[in-house]
């Protein structure tokens, strides 16, 4: 009976150590979230500015053609920003792939030695 207790205690300690090991990376991830939060807030602010501009345009409109121009301007602005964001995302993916390739090549040369 005592053997089982010691085994359970050692398993319990192992579980605690594993929890602590996994807890450390989450703290680092929380620190990395601040940059993402700032970027998201900036995008929301830009979108709000675009909507306020469209709102002012609509309020100043006097006929249906003016309303169409306001809508087209908002749509064009959104499309332009979306294209820029897509390009930025693709550049990040290229950088990550280049880093991964470099890491894999380093591992391969290490294994070959």
* Mean local confidence (pLDDT), 4-27: 50
Model confidence band, residue 16 (pLDDT cutoffs 50, 70, 90): low
Residue 50 corresponds to which tokens in the numbers above? 């675009």
- What is the SS3 assignment for 36-71? HHHHHHHHHHHHHHHHHHHHHHHHHCCCHHHHHHHH
The pLDDT tens digits for 52-96 are 999 999 999 999 999 999 999 999 999 999 999 999 999 999 999
- Structural domain count, the chain: 1
- Grouping H, G, I as helix, E, B as strand and the rest as coil, residue 113 is coil
User: Which residue range(s) make up the domain with 99?
Assistant: 2-112
With bands split at pLDDT 50, 70 and 90, how would you rate the model's confidence at 51?
very high
Tokens representing 61?
A: 């409109």
Q: What confidence tens digit (pLDDT) does each residue in 24-42 have?
A: 555 555 668 988 999 899 9
CA distance 83 to 87: 6
């Amino acid at each position: 009976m005592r053997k089982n207790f010691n085994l359970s205690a050692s398993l319990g300690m192992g579980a605690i150590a594993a929890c602590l090991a996994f807890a450390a990376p989450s703290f680092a991830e929380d620190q990395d979230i601040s940059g993402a939060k700032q970027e998201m807030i900036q995008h929301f602010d830009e979108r709000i500015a675009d909507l306020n501009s469209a709102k002012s345009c609509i309020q100043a409109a006097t006929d249906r053609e003016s309303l169409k121009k306001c809508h087209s301007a908002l749509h064009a602005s959104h499309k332009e920003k979306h294209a820029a964001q897509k390009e930025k995302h693709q550049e990040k993916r290229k950088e990550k792939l280049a880093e991964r390739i470099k890491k894999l090549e380093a591992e391969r040369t290490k294994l070959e030695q």
